């Protein structure tokens, strides 16, 4: 091999190495870009999922609170009816006691 052939081979090897290095940098940049995009998509999906689950929990809590409020309201209505009925029964007795107290 002549000196020119050796130098030419070295020059070709340098060019090939530069191309390989450039291609590797491009590929690394693409991988990094794709990784960032995937991470963004994962975060968006996770946020969407967590918001959906939060809304579901809120809906369940509202339904549970509504049921509890209905039970308490029904209990209150029943207690009110008992007081009203008891007062109605005792009205005649109270009127009789007042009238009797005036007669004495």
Which tens digits make up the pLDDT trace of 21-43?
999 999 999 999 999 999 999 99
pLDDT of residue 104: 67
What six digits make up the tokens of 52?
Answer: 């959906």
In sequence order, the 6+-apart residues with CB closer than 8 A to the CB of 1 are 9
pLDDT of residue 13: 94
pLDDT of residue 55: 94
- At 46, give phi and psi (nearest 5°): -65, -40
Is the CA virtual torsion 48, 54, 56, 59 positive or negative? negative
pLDDT of residue 98: 79
pLDDT of residue 32: 97
Distance CA 87, CA 79 (A): 12
pTM recorded for the entire structure: 0.51
Q: Which residues of the chain have pLDDT under 50?
A: none
Helix H segments across the chain? Answer: 3-103
Burial 8-31 (b: 16+ CB within 10 A, else e): eeeeeeeeeeeeeeeeeeeeeeee
């Amino acid at each position: 091999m002549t000196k020119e052939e050796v130098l030419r081979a070295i020059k070709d090897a340098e060019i090939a190495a530069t191309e390989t290095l450039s291609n590797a940098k491009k590929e690394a940049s693409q991988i990094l870009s794709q990784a960032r995009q995937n991470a963004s998509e994962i975060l968006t999906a996770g946020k969407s999922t967590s918001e959906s689950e939060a809304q579901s929990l809120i809906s369940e809590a509202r339904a549970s609170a509504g049921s509890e409020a209905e039970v308490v309201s029904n209990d209150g209505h029943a207690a009110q009816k008992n007081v009203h009925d008891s007062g109605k029964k005792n009205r005649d007795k109270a009127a009789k006691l007042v009238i009797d107290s005036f007669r004495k």
